[in-house]
A and B are shown apart, each in its own frame.
Chain A
Amino acid sequence: MKIIKDKVAKLSFVALLITMTAAIFYTPTASAHGEKSQAAFMRMRTIHWFDLNWSKDEVAINETMTISGKFHVFAGWPETVDKPEVAFLNIGIPGPVFIRAGSWIGDQLVPRSVSLELGETYTFKVLLKARRPGDWHVHTMLNVEGGGPIIGPGKWVTITGSMGQFVNPLVTLTGDTIDLEDYALDNIYFWHALWYAIGLAWLVFWAKRPMFIPRHIAVSSGKADTLISAGDKKVGIAFALGTMVLVAGSMASTNEKYPVTTPLQAGLMRGMVPIDMPATSVVVKVEDATYRVPGRAMQMTLTITNNGDSAVRLGEFMTASVRFLDADVLEDESGYPDDLLAEEGLTSSDNSPLAPGETRTVNVTASDAAWEVYRLADLIYDPDSRFAGLLFFFDEDGNRQMVMVDAPLIPSFI
């Protein structure tokens, strides 16, 4: 007897553990710090985010901020990743610390998935309303079906205040003003509690009498039929009929209370309008490119031809959200995240203005700890060891031209 009791107790304990694991283990993804673990080629050869602006560093509960900028859909999209034919403009935050009050590609609100074209550049804007206090890393993000999340740069934003003050008021098309934060919550609790109580009552009805051993003995000795009485059947019928009446009745009263309802809205949105980037008059040919592992620097030999009518200088090389600037040409005034900004990370063997019609071959070096910190150097271990990025040239009037580069990369270990 004691042994069996112990065994049952042990088994109960195991079951309890399983339960706890099952119940407590699952939490929807809250973290948004996957940026460094994402394969370098994914970050270099898919979406290039630029001209980014986080409108605030600190924002109070219920106040809004925007993240805006442009993204270029790289024409040399890797074959191993599905093309962004079904993509969703997301935001990389740890759970709903902000609510996404709006998001646009061009002028189009994009609450649903969209279709994007390779080689095009789009403007975007995400409007966020602060909900939960704390310091949060806020990333731009685009999810691509068959490709996964493509995470852009992140910047720390502080939310102040208390979450209890957060409200999310809306006016429905039926004219009611509601707060979506706790709308219909009582109704949800009420129906779940009511049905739980009914189910519990049915269980208690049977658990009030001896359950397992005596019933098992009765069943094994052929007296199973005596175990369900006529009275039990009556109670059962009452439960079943009551259930059906309650389902039908509550459905009818709900329809009366909410005469206007619509199905969930879904479906892919097409026809996103890209922006016209200024025509490029600079042509760049990558002669070779090496990554020097000990120096954490990438060296490129570029042959640059200026077909325009104004002299140009190279101001920036950007790849995987890391910006290497030539301080003589360009200074960042947008408050770009420090860890992704190499203010003097770009040097050139000759960066004097390149006159119209002139061609020059230069050695350009992009060096910064970010190569290691952001694990971009891992690129050399990728199956297709290529790099890609954007070069920005500036003429004397400050006009900018964007030129894509995409070439093999040879590692150098000495």
Chain B
Amino acid sequence: MSASQSAVRSRAEAVAVSRTFDWMILFTLFTAVLGGYHIHYMLTGGDWDFWSDWKDRRLWVTVAPIVSITFPAAVQAMLWYRYRLPVGATICVLALLLGEWINRYMNFWGWTYFPVNFCFPSNLMPGAIVLDVILMLGGSMTLTAVVGGLAWGLLFYPGNWPIIAPLHVPVEYNGMMFTLADLQGYHYVRTGTPEYIRMVEKGTLRTFGKDVAPVSAFFSGFVSVIIYFLWHFFGKWFNKTDFISGENV
């Protein structure tokens, strides 16, 4: 036992150093996830998340959960199998929402002057908490994927409804009916986003009539289950320590 083998001299010091590491790792994880998840979500969910007039009952409900369960699944894999920490999904969503709010407030509003009530992000928190708790209670990837993935899809629309409902109030404008969200899209000119790019209320679920949102949510939940499995394995693989030399890492 020599000084070169241990960097600390006492238990108290070890605890303090360990705690310092906690905060550093947490901060690093948070910011790295923020960057990666944010870019991923912008590229895949993009306009559906940016604009209120894209937040429809079919495609937004379907697409947003499917593309957003990715990082939570991967980070859960890492934090659970290495540290038994059931906070992976929540950390991801906290990081993503922080990044999104910075972007929407600083860029969309602060730089380009789109009103915040037009370009606010979607709420993913209810699904994240439930996903983490299911992992903690069951301790099983399969259970989390199936039950948690489904819950992730199902909780998305109701979790966002209190936020978007006021914008779905109808209004008559120059002889046509709009929702207020549609009118936002029409009023607040987006030169680079012509109306035909908007993918809303399209799809093959017409026969379900009014109840299209629950059907979309179920479909989204099913696909989320599959994506969860896939990204859970990405997380495990990414989390391997094969590339680091040394024992007992």
A residues with a Cβ closer than 8 A to B are: 1, 5, 8-9, 11-12, 15-16, 18-19, 21-24, 26-32, 86-88, 90-102, 109, 111-113, 131-132, 141, 143, 145, 149, 163, 168, 170-174, 176, 178, 180-185, 187-188, 191-192, 195-196, 198-200, 202-203, 206-207, 210-216, 218-220, 224, 227-228, 232-233, 236-237, 239-240, 243-244, 246-248, 250-251, 253-255, 257-258, 260-268
B108 touches A27 (CB 8 A): yes
Specify the chain B residue showing the minimal Cβ separation from A92.
B191
Enumerate chain B residues within 8 angstroms of A24, measured Cβ to Cβ. Answer: 102-103, 106-107
B136 touches A236 (CB 8 A): yes
Q: Which 5 A-B pairs have the closest CB atoms?
A: A29-B192, A1-B7, A18-B35, A143-B194, A261-B168
A232 to chain B, nearest CB (A): 7
| Residues of B within 8 A of A (CB-CB), count | 109
The verdict on A207 contacting B117 (CB below 8 Å), with A19-B34, A86-B196, A111-B195 known, is no
B3 to chain A, nearest CB (A): 11
A89 to chain B, nearest CB (A): 9
**Cα A214 to Cα B158 with chains together (Å):** 39
Enumerate chain B residues within 8 angstroms of A246, measured Cβ to Cβ. Answer: 126
A99 touches B189 (CB 8 A): yes
The verdict on A251 contacting B162 (CB below 8 Å), with A18-B35, A203-B94, A228-B84 known, is yes
Specify the chain B residue showing the minimal Cβ separation from A3.
B7
Partner of B162, one of A100, A149, A250: A250
Enumerate chain A residues within 8 angstroms of B31, measured Cβ to Cβ. Answer: 12, 15-16, 18-19
A251 touches B50 (CB 8 A): no
A32 to chain B, nearest CB (A): 5
**Cα A170 to Cα B183 with chains together (Å):** 10
Enumerate chain B residues within 8 angstroms of A172, measured Cβ to Cβ. Answer: 169-171, 180
Q: Is the interface of B mostly helix, strand, loop or mixed?
A: helix
B184 touches A95 (CB 8 A): no
Which residues of chain B from 104 to 137 have a CB within 8 Å of any chain A CB?
106-108, 111-117, 120-121, 123, 125-126, 128-130, 132-134, 136-137
Enumerate chain B residues within 8 angstroms of A239, measured Cβ to Cβ. Answer: 129, 133
Which residues of chain B from 33 to 85 have a CB within 8 Å of any chain A CB?
34-36, 38-39, 42, 50, 53, 55-57, 81-85
**Cα A267 to Cα B199 with chains together (Å):** 10
A195 touches B125 (CB 8 A): yes
Enumerate chain A residues within 8 angstroms of B57, measured Cβ to Cβ. Answer: 263-264
Given contacts A23-B102, A95-B189, A210-B18, 12 further A-B contacts (CB under 8 A): A5-B20, A21-B35, A23-B38, A24-B106, A28-B114, A180-B184, A203-B87, A233-B137, A243-B155, A247-B158, A260-B169, A262-B168
**Cα A131 to Cα B184 with chains together (Å):** 14
**Cα A42 to Cα B45 with chains together (Å):** 31
B200 touches A266 (CB 8 A): yes
The verdict on A22 contacting B34 (CB below 8 Å), with A183-B166, A191-B123, A254-B162 known, is yes
**Cα A251 to Cα B8 with chains together (Å):** 54
Which residues of chain B from 182 to 213 have a CB within 8 Å of any chain A CB?
182-184, 186-196, 198, 200-202
Enumerate chain A residues within 8 angstroms of B202, measured Cβ to Cβ. Answer: 266
**Cα A250 to Cα B8 with chains together (Å):** 51
B9 to chain A, nearest CB (A): 11
A18 to chain B, nearest CB (A): 3
The verdict on A111 contacting B179 (CB below 8 Å), with A23-B99, A149-B194 known, is no
Partner of A145, one of B36, B166, B169, B196: B196
**B143 at the A/B interface (Cβ < 8 Å)?**
no
Chain A to chain B contacts (Cβ below 8 Å), 30 pairs: A8-B21, A8-B24, A12-B28, A19-B32, A22-B36, A22-B42, A31-B191, A86-B196, A99-B188, A100-B187, A111-B173, A132-B113, A143-B195, A145-B196, A174-B169, A182-B117, A188-B120, A196-B97, A202-B87, A206-B85, A215-B83, A219-B84, A220-B248, A240-B130, A251-B162, A254-B161, A258-B168, A261-B179, A262-B177, A266-B56
Enumerate chain B residues within 8 angstroms of A251, measured Cβ to Cβ. Answer: 158, 161-162
A264 touches B114 (CB 8 A): no
**Cα A210 to Cα B19 with chains together (Å):** 6
A63 to chain B, nearest CB (A): 15
**Cα A172 to Cα B121 with chains together (Å):** 24
**Cα A94 to Cα B28 with chains together (Å):** 37
The verdict on A237 contacting B189 (CB below 8 Å), with A174-B169, A264-B181 known, is no
B180 touches A202 (CB 8 A): no
Partner of B136, one of A12, A95, A174, A232: A232
A213 touches B195 (CB 8 A): no
**Cα A254 to Cα B126 with chains together (Å):** 17
Enumerate chain A residues within 8 angstroms of B181, measured Cβ to Cβ. Answer: 264
B108 to chain A, nearest CB (A): 6
**B230 at the A/B interface (Cβ < 8 Å)?**
no
Partner of A196, one of B39, B125, B130, B180: B125
